[in-house]
Amino acid sequence: MPETTPWALALGQMALLVALGPLVTGLIQKLKARLQCRSGAGLLQPYSDLAKLFRKGSVRADTATSLFGAVPVLVLAATLSAAALVPVVYVAPQGSDGAVVPLGDAILLLGWLALGRFLTAAGALDAGGAFGGMGASREMTVATLVEPVLIVVAFSVAVAAGTTDLAGIVAHHTQGRHIFGAPDLLALFAMLVLLLAETGRIPVDNPDTHLELTMLHEGMLLEHSGPGLGCLVLAHHTKQIVVIALVQALFLPPMASSLSPRALAVAFLGFAGLTVVLALFLALIEASYAKLRFFRLPQFLGIGFVSAFLAAALRLL
C-alpha cells in the first residue's frame, strides 16, 4: 500500500468528523427540545452559530498575554489531530510485515484531547477573572477523575486485542476473533458514564447554563469572543463526535471491509445509526436528570471506574 493512503484516510475521516460534529450537537439539542415538548432550534443551528462567530470581531481582556490568542488555535489543532486518529468507516488492513498506519493509537488520541483541555484551562486563567479560574479548576478536577477510567476502559479492550492501536482493535473486532461478552458490556457501561463527562453534559456539566457558578466548560470560554470563541466551540463539537466515534471503535465498529463505494456507504450508515442512538442516549439523560452537585461527581465517576475495573479483571482472570 502506498505511503500516502494512510494519510488520505486519516485526513478524510477527520474532515468527515469535523463536518458532522456540529450536526450531532444540533441533533442532541433538537431531541432534547422535543423531549421537553418544545419545538427547539433547527438541526443546522450550530453551523449558523459558528458562521456568525467566525464573521465577528473579537474583544480581548486588557490583561491577557500572547497565550490568549494562541489558545483557540492550538486547542482546535489538538482536537483535529485527535479526530484524525479515530477510525470512522474504514481502516487499512494490517500488512504482512505487521506494518500499520502510524496514526491511530488510543493513548495518543486521549493525549491530544488532554492537551486541548490543558490549554483551554490555562487560557481561562489568562483573562484574570474568577469565573475562568473556577471553570479551569473544576474542569481539571473532573479530568483527573475521568482520565484513569478512560485508560482502564481502553486497556480492558486492548488486553484482548494485544494492542492499544485503534486500527488493531477494530481489526480484532471485524475479523470475528472477538465475542461480545460480559467484559465488553461492563466496559461499554463505563464508557457511557464517561461519555457524559467527556462531552460536558448533564449530570456532569450543563451546556445550556448561563449561571456562571454552575458551568465548567462554558466558564472557561467566557472571555473568548469572535473567531477565537468559534474555534473553541468547533473544537468542542469535534471532541464530542470524536468521543462518540471512540465508543464505536472500541466496542461496535461498523467498518467497511473494502474501499468500494457500496461498502463505505453501508459502513457510514452504520456509523450514522449508532451516532443517532448515542445522541438519543445523551439527550434522554439530559432531559430527565438534573446536574449533580460538583462534589458528588467522584461517586458518579466511581461507578464508571468500578465497572471498567471489573471489565479488566474479567478479561484477565
Which amino acid type is present at position 26?
G
What the block records as the C-alpha cell of 256 is 467497511
Contact between 40 and 29 under an 8 Å Cβ cutoff? The reply is yes
The residue from 12, 35, 41, 60 that contacts another protein (CB under 8 A) is 60
Contact between 165 and 93 under an 8 Å Cβ cutoff? The reply is no
> What is d(CA 216, CA 294) in angstroms, rounded to the nearest whole number?
10
Contact between 166 and 13 under an 8 Å Cβ cutoff? The reply is no
255-274: contacts with another protein (CB under 8 A): none
- How close are the terminal C-alpha atoms of the chain, in Å? 39
The one segment of 20-28, 60-68, 265-273, 284-292 that binds another protein by CB under 8 A: 60-68
The residue from 146, 241, 247, 267 that contacts another protein (CB under 8 A) is 146
Size of the site for another protein (CB under 8 A): 92
Binding mask 197-226 for another protein (x = CB under 8 A): -------------------------xx--x
Is 4 a residue that touches another protein (CB under 8 A)? no
Helical axes 130-161 vs 106-126, angle rounded to 10°: 180
Contact between 75 and 235 under an 8 Å Cβ cutoff? The reply is yes
The residue from 50, 76, 204, 246 that contacts another protein (CB under 8 A) is 76
Helical axes 4-35 vs 66-85, angle rounded to 10°: 100
86 or 152, CB closer to another protein?
A: 152
Distances (CA, A) of 164 to 45, 78, 170, 229, 306: 37, 20, 10, 34, 21
The one segment of 31-39, 94-102, 239-247, 266-274 that binds another protein by CB under 8 A: 94-102
Is 302 a residue that touches another protein (CB under 8 A)? no
Is 243 a residue that touches another protein (CB under 8 A)? no
The one segment of 33-41, 108-116, 191-199, 282-290 that binds another protein by CB under 8 A: 108-116
The one segment of 38-46, 116-124, 251-259, 266-274 that binds another protein by CB under 8 A: 116-124
Is 178 a residue that touches another protein (CB under 8 A)? no
